[in-house]
Amino acid sequence: METNGPSAFEEEMRFRHHLARLPALTLVAVAINAALHFLLVHRAHGLEDNVPHLLLIAGAKIDLLVQDGEVWRLLSSAFLHGSFWHLTMNVLGILTMGWYVENAVGPYLYTALYLGAAVGAAGTSYLLGDVTSVGASGVLFGLMGAAVTWTVRHWRRLPLILRTYALLIPASAAAASLFYGWSLSTVDNFAHLGGFVTGAAFGLIAPFTRVPSRQESPLTLAVATVGLVLLISTLATVVDRLNIHLPPLSPGIEILALEDDRVIHAPAGPLWTPGRLDQENQCLSTPDLSPSEVLASGGVLCYTDPYFAAILLGTEEAVARVPMYQEAFLREHGEEPHTFRAMEFLFHRRGDGMTTGLAVFRPLLPRYVPLFQALAVAEPKDD
């Protein structure tokens, strides 16, 4: 006597039951994001002024450092957040979408999607944008993109009750967020767009099964395994950086000749960006910047690197008007820091009327002292 297979209704109920499972990998990802943020706050000693510097050190997406070989930042930036509010908003979104997507496609494909969306978001931002950024919002947009295209592709196979949740909510949320993001310079909208496109592409190729199996194809297993290895390596690097373990600083120096036959030393290398210090203490860089003209006009020449370190060069009179110099002077006389709490300052007045300064995140000071000492030495003249 033959037995009939499960009816369409029974298969639908099984699928609904599967979607109600706790999304284990989503919860693990949320835990990693939360753990790194609390470690960041701990390393910042509870001081908000320290957080931006630690984010730059630990793994923010910084184009210059990616170009310099720190490609791991394309992944690490998706696990770091600038504030508890930033973390909370992204975590709630990932829980909402990850619950559906992870249970729909299975753990191995979900691993590939999560990490692929993280890299796709940061990679798009790197190629099309120029902002320094952190946050898991690119991953969230990737999950929304995957939910939309996977749901549309398998529309007739899905329970009716899921269609609105799995299509209209992520589609409308993504569209509204992208529209809103274009109006704010502080939002890395290219990362959001890149994450959504990456997720949408994934949703177009991800297969459908009533109950996703843990027995995936060798290719899927290989991709997920490589992704996990890269993730573990990246997270280890982030923790190491939070402990202020950085690569050695390049000692490159260039000599700049001034119009009055004096010379000054300036840092050299692709990570140092020259500019002119403005009244708001910002180092403004322009393509036609002339160091000699900046100094001759009474300005202060500044060189900044991706860690917010700054080398200042100028006459004693010009540098004395700089707020960082004034705060350093007050500190020497026992005053507590009030504006640049996270920074340490060193200034050296040369015998020829020029002053060299260093402003750097306090824990990084030993890393920059040798460079500062080399820059502060006046170039000897030939008799």
Per-residue pLDDT tens over the stretch 116-135: 999 999 999 999 998 999 99
Is residue 148 located within the same domain as residue 194?
yes
Q: Are residues 231 and 271 in the same domain?
A: no
Which tops the pLDDT comparison, 356 or 217?
356
Together in a domain, 227 and 262: no
pLDDT at 249 over 50: yes
Are 218 and 290 in the same domain?
no
Residue 3 lies in a domain: no
**Assigned domain for 1 exists:** no
pLDDT tens for residues 145-200? 999 898 888 887 777 767 777 777 777 777 777 776 666 667 788 999 999 999 99
Q: pLDDT confidence of 9, banded at 50, 70, 90?
A: low
Flag whether pLDDT at 88 surpasses 70. yes
Instruction: Give me the pLDDT at residue 267, please.
Output: 93
Nearest to 238 by CA among 33, 99, 6: 33
Confirm if 142 and 113 have CB atoms less than 8 A apart: yes
The residue assigned the tokens 């997507």 is 101
Of the candidates 101, 105, 95, 142, the one whose C-alpha atom is nearest the C-alpha of residue 121 is 142
- Separation between Cα atoms, residue 88 and residue 33, nearest integer Å: 10
Same domain, 74 and 219: yes
What average pLDDT score do residues 25-47 get? 95
Of 242, 267, 296, the last residue of a domain is 242
Residue in 71, 70, 90 with CA at minimum distance from that of residue 80: 90
> Which residue type is seen at 356?
T
Whichever domain contains 72, its CATH number is 1.20.1540.10
Shared domain check, 186 and 315: no
Highest mean pLDDT among 197-206, 211-220, 349-358: 197-206
Residues 271 and 319 in one domain: yes
Bridge partners of residue 87, in order along the sequence? none
| 243 or 262, which is more confident | 243
186 shares its domain with 294: no
How many independent structural domains does the chain possess?
2
pLDDT score of 190: 92
Is pLDDT of 43 > 60?
yes
Q: Provide the token pair at 21.
A: 């499972």
Whether residue 320 is contained in a domain is answered as: yes
Is 382 within a domain? Answer: no
Q: Has residue 383 been placed in a domain? A: no
Closest CA to 153 of 195, 117, 108, 202: 202
Full 3-state SS string of 89-103: HHHHHHHHHHHHHHH
247 assigned to some structural domain: no
User: How confident is the model at residue 220, as a pLDDT?
Assistant: 76
Residue at 290 is within a domain: yes
Claim to verify: residue 144 and residue 204 sit in the same structural domain: yes
User: Is the pLDDT reported for residue 369 higher than 90?
Assistant: yes
Same domain, yes or no: 261 and 298? yes
Q: Vertex 9, ends 4 and 14: CA angle to 5°?
A: 95
183-187, 279-283, 312-316, 330-334: which has the minimum mean pLDDT? 183-187
**How much is the average pLDDT of 28-41?**
97
Q: How far apart are the first and last CA of the chain?
A: 111
Instruction: Report yes or no on 161 lying in a domain.
Output: yes
Percent of the chain with pLDDT over 70: 89
Q: Could you give the angle at the alpha carbon of 117 between the alpha carbons of 196 and 163, nearest 5°?
A: 50
- Quick one: 304 and 216 in the same domain? no
Residues 113 and 205 in one domain: yes
CB 265 within 8 A of CB 375: yes
pLDDT of 348 over the 60 cut: yes
The full DSSP string for 14-53 is: HHHHHHTS--HHHHHHHHHHHHHHHHHHHHTTT-GGGHHH
| pLDDT for res 107 | 87
Domain enclosing residue 330, as ranges: 253-376
CA dihedral of residues 61, 341, 41, 188 (deg, nearest 10): -30
